[in-house]
Amino acid sequence: MLTASETGVRIYNLGPLEQVPLGEGRAFLVGSTPVAVFRPRNGKVYATQALCTHKGGPLADGLLGGETLVCPLHAYRFNLATGQPVGHECSALRTYAVVVGPDGCIRLALP
């Protein structure tokens, strides 16, 4: 869960969830940090670093299947919840805590 009391973290309001089409992702520039926010059809919301650890592919343009993210450039897969690589050896994605508030806006915590 997200609370401002978490030490050092800063919480950003990314605006309404609808900005991100259902089943897709979009990139946000949060302060100076590029972040990819995903809205798969399983109803959850996830956030990871914006660029693929393989060769910098734009992850927000990827395909989603449940908790799995497929990078658009070379189809390497990652787990959205953990950021862990699936079936390859590239390093894991940084993930960020994210929730949709009662106001329907996306809230994201940056360390």
Partner 1 sequence: MAAKQRLVLIGNGMAGARFLEELTSLGGGEQYDIVAFGDEPYGNYNRILLSGVVSGTHDPKDIFINPLSWYREKGVTLHAGVRAGWIDRDSKKVYAPNNIGETYDKLVLATGSQPFVPPLEGLTREDGRFKEGVFVFRTLDDCSAILAYAQQAKRVAVIGGGLLGLEAARGLLKQGLEVHIVHLTAHLMDAQLDPSSAKLLQRAMESMNIHVHLEKSSTALLGNECVSGIGFKDGSRLDCDMVVLSAGIRPNVDLARASGLTVQRGIVVHNDLSCRNDPNVFAIGECAQHNNVVYGLVAPLWEQARVLAERLSGKNPQAVYRGSRVSTKLKVMGVDLAVMGDKDPRHEEDEVVTYVEPSRGIYKKLVVRDGKLAGAILLGDGQMTPRLLQAFDRSELLPESRSELLFSLGEQSQKLSVADMPDDTQVCNCNGVSKAKLLAAIKGGARSLKAVCDATRAGTGCGSCKPQVQAILEWAADGLVAEDPSVHYYVPGVPLTKVELVRAIKGQDLRSVSAVFAVLAEGREDAASKLGLASLLKTIWGKDYEDERDARFINDRVHANIQNDGTFSVIPRIYGGVTSPDQLRRIADVAEKYQARMVKITGGQRIDLLGLPKESLPAVWQDLGMPSGHAYTKAFRTCKTCVGTDFCRYGLGDSTGLGIQIEQRFQGIESPHKMKLAASGCPRNCAEATTKDVGAVAIEGGRWEVYVGGAAGSKVRKGDVLCVVDTHDEVMQYMGRFMQYYREQGKYLERTYDFVERVGVDHLRQVLVEDSEGMCERLDAEIQAAINAYVDPWKEADHPKHPAQFVRELAVVED
- Binding site residues, ligand FES, CB under 6 A: 52, 54-57, 71, 73-74, 76
Residue 45 or 48 with smaller CB distance to ligand FES: 48
Q: Binder to partner 1 among 3, 5, 29, 103 (CB under 8 A)?
A: 29
Place of tokens 């734009």: 58
Residue 68 or 105 with smaller CB distance to ligand FES: 68
CB 15 within 8 A of CB 103: no
81 phi, psi to nearest 5 deg? -70, -45
Minimum CB separation from partner 1 for residue 111, in Å? 15
CA–CA separation, 97 vs 107, rounded Å?
A: 8
